[in-house]
Structure 1
Amino acid sequence: MSSASFYKWCAKFGGMDVSMMTRMKELDDESKRLKI
C-alpha cells in the first residue's frame, strides 16, 4: 500500500485514532519488509 492510498484509506476510516493508524502503517511496512 502506497502512502497516498494509506492516507486515502485513513480519510475514509477517519473514526480510527492516530495510534491505530500508526500501528497499521507499521504492520504494512513490516509486511513489505518480510516479502523482500
Structure 2
Amino acid sequence: MFYRLRVAGFENTEQTRVMCEALRARSIDCIPVTLQ
C-alpha cells in the first residue's frame, strides 16, 4: 500500500532535513521537494 502526504510550512531546508531524518528513523520514506 502506498500513501502520499504533502506538508508545507517549513521555514527553511534545515527544518525539512530534520523532519525527513525523523521519518527515515522510523523506516518511512521522505522525498523533500521545493515549491517554485
Q: TM-score band, normalised by the shorter chain?
A: 0.3 to 0.5
Structure with more helix by fraction: 1
TM-score of the pair, normalised by structure 1:
0.48
**Higher RCO, 1 or 2 (CA under 8 Å, sep at least 6)?**
1
TM-score of the pair, normalised by structure 2:
0.48
